[in-house]
Chains A and B, each alone.
Chain A
Amino acid sequence: DQQVKQNSPSLSVQEGRISILNCDYTNSMFDYFLWYKKYPAEGPTFLISISSIKDKNEDGRFTVFLNKSAKHLSLHIVPSQPGDSAVYFCAASGRSGGSYIPTFGRGTSLIVHP
C-alpha cells in the first residue's frame, strides 16, 4: 500500500514552460515533505522541502505547494530548462510508532525539450 504516490511516471515539457509534478499522500501523520532530483548513475539530491504548517515554499525557479486537506503537494519549475531533465522523487515523513519514517514516491521522470 503506497502511502506516497506519484501517479505520473513521466512528464514532457518544452523549455521555458512550466513543469508541474504532483504527489499525493494518504498518511495524515506526515508533517514534512521533500522533493529530490535524481540524475542517472547518481544518488538523489535534495531540491526543496515544506513543513505542514506552510502551504507554499519557494526557492528560485522551484516552488512547492502543499494542500493538506487534499493530501496533495506539487512541485512547480518555472521556467523549465533542459538541465532539469531528471527523475523527481516526492518524500514525506512523520511519526510512526515512535519512529520517524521517511516514505518516498516512485518518482516522475521529467524531460525538458530544448
Chain B
Amino acid sequence: KAGVTQTPRYLIKTRGQQVTLSCSPISGHRSVSWYQQTPGQGLQFLFEYFSETQRNKGNFPGRFSGRQFSNSRSEMNVSTLELGDSALYLCASSYRQGMNTEAFFGQGTRLTVV
C-alpha cells in the first residue's frame, strides 16, 4: 500500500512569511504526528492529530499549528517564519493514537527560510 506522502519536498520562504505543509497518511491510519528535525536539536515532536483533534503537543510556539481533515490528511502551518525554522519537517502516521505504536514516516519537507 502507498506510504506517507508529504508535499512539497522542498520549499524556500522568506522571513516573516507563512508556510503550509501537507501530509497524506497511509490509508486507514487515523493518527498523524509532525516532527521538526534540525542538526542541532535532532528530531523534535510538534503535535499529533487523531480523528481531526489535536491530542498531543510538543514544546513549540503558537506560530506552529496544524489541523487534520476528515480523510485523515493533515496540514501544518508556520506563521511569521524565522531563520531558525529552517529544518526538515517530518510527518508520521499510525493506526492508533500515541507513541506506543509503530509509526510510518514520510520523506519530509525541507524548509529553508532566507
Binding site for B on A (CB under 8 A): 32, 34, 36, 41-46, 49, 51, 89, 91, 93, 99-107
Q: Tell me the bound Cα distance from A49 to B92 in angstroms.
A: 16
Most chain A CB within a 10 A radius of its CB, from B45, B55, B106: B45
> Size band of the B side of the interface?
20 to 34
B100, CB-defined interface residue at 8 Å: yes
Interface pair A102/B104, CB less than 8 Å apart? no
User: Could you tell me the dominant secondary structure of chain B's interface residues?
Assistant: strand
In the bound complex, CA of A46 to CA of B56 (Å) = 20
Are B99 and A34 in contact, CB atoms less than 8 angstroms apart? Answer: yes
A103 contacts B45, C-beta separation under 8 Å: yes
| A46 and B102 within 8 A (CB) | yes
Asked if B43 and A89 make an inter-chain contact with CB atoms under 8 angstroms apart, the answer reads yes
Determine whether B63 belongs to the interface, using a CB cutoff of 8 Å to chain A.
no
* A–B Cβ pairs within 8 angstroms, 11 of them: A32-B99, A43-B92, A45-B105, A91-B43, A93-B99, A99-B55, A100-B99, A101-B56, A102-B45, A105-B42, A107-B42
User: B57, A42: Cβ atoms under 8 Å?
Assistant: no
Contacts of A51 in B (CB 8 A): 100
Shortest Cβ gap from B54 to chain A (Å): 10
Encoded as 1 (CB less than 8 Å from any A CB) or 0, chain B from 89 to 114 comes to 01010000011101111111000000
The 6 closest A-B pairs by CB, nearest first: A43-B105, A93-B99, A106-B42, A104-B43, A102-B99, A99-B56
B44 on the interface (CB 8 Å rule)?
A: yes
A93-B98 contact given A44-B90, A99-B57, A105-B42, CB 8 Å threshold: yes
Bound-complex Cα distance A3 to B106 (A): 25
Residues on A with C-beta less than 8 A from B58 are 101
Closest chain B CB from A75 CB (angstroms): 16
Q: Output the nearest chain B residue to A2 by Cβ-Cβ distance.
A: B42
B41-86 residues at the A interface, CB under 8 angstroms: 42-45, 48, 55-58
Check B99–A44 contact: CB distance below 8 A.
Answer: no
Interface pair A32/B4, CB less than 8 Å apart: no
**In the complex, residue of chain B having the shortest beta-carbon distance to the beta carbon of A98:** B56
| Assembled-state Cα–Cα distance A105/B55 (Å) | 22
CA distance A81 to B57 in the complex (A): 38
